[in-house]
Amino acid sequence: MSIVKWEKPVQISVGSRGSEFVSSAFDAVLFLKDSWEDCETVSFLQARNACRGALAGRVDAEVARALAKD
């Protein structure tokens, strides 16, 4: 597993739980898993899958970054 740092960290906001800056797909997966209130939404699943794909080398890290911040 390759942990590639993004060129720019992204801020992920999660409703009443606040927000956090993350700088890699690995950090984003951890934050999404622990903080996202509705883990069944399309946006959550896309962000999580893209970040997991980036960790496995199947998805470009910057693509995962873009989905994590949306």
Read off the pLDDT of residues 3-47 as tens digits, 9 standing for 90 and up. 678 888 988 776 666 778 889 888 888 887 776 666 678 888 888
Residue-by-residue DSSP string for 3-60: -PEEEEEEEEE-GGG-EEEEEEHHHHHHHHHHH-S-TTSHHHHHHHHHHHHHHHTSS-
Residue-level pLDDT at 70: 62
Residue-level pLDDT at 42: 87
Residue-level pLDDT at 66: 87
